[in-house]
Amino acid sequence: MDKKQISILNLKKMKQEKQPITMLTAYDYIMASILDEAGVDIILVGDSLGNVVLGYESTVPVKLSDMLHHVKAVARGVKRALVVADMPFLTYHLSLKDTLENAGKLIQDGGAKAVKVEGGSQIIEDVRALVNAGIPVMGHLGLTPQFIYQIGSYKVQADTEQEAQQLMEDAVKLQEAGVFAIVLECVPAELAAKVTDMLDIPTIGIGAGVNCDGQVLVTHDLLGFKAGFKPKFVKQYANLHEEMMKAVKSYCNEVRERKFPAKEHSF
């Protein structure tokens, strides 16, 4: 595995050479360092931390201060992967000045190498402003969790001809505005393949089929942290919920039975 730090130029080359791109989420130092050592190409500090770490029902309550706290921790744990930070709800819809200032904090203070924004035509000017300021931007189309109150539910998007056409137009506009990649979330696999073929920049799929240029999952889903939670598009590669429950119960039992600490654990 190449030890050199991944850049947006590497990702474009990977698309050209048809090398699949790997992307996972991290919200803390230790998880970021594990993913980085394992060879993940992109580490996303997602506003999904609202659901996964902070216990919110959606990503909407996540503040810029929350993101900064977690981005800093992740950046300290990464040597190779490209660290991308989500711009949370209402940090890039108000004014271009706010957009630039908020993204600047994630890059300058947080240590991220790029930001991710959700939406298409409605955020093109924000994307242009960020790119012109020298900030790499990743787009996000399809299911956009920050719009959940508008969308109504977490379901497959762009499953009508009109919606599919709009998504394709938005993807082209985002590419023209300068994004270096686009996440396609919960869109029909055939449409995702078509968008991938249309674009010169990589697509990163989640619930969007195998023909995207890369794939992303929430790491906690992949590792099975939460019992009973397994969306259709998730493959669970481990069941850490069960393993952690066993370990913690064993600890509690040994403490209560005065088996821990034993002589070898004492000074």
d(CA 38, CA 214): 16
Q: How many CA atoms lie within 13 A of 166 on its CB side?
A: 14
Please say if 169 is a catalytic residue: no
**Six token digits for residue 213:** 């240029």
Residue 167's identity, in one-letter code, is L
d(CA 76, CA 30): 9
Distance of CA 59 to the CA centre of its chain: 12
Residue among 118, 161, 185, 243 flagged as catalytic? 185
Helix axes 124-132, 161-177, angle to 10 degrees: 20
Catalytic positions, written as ranges: 185
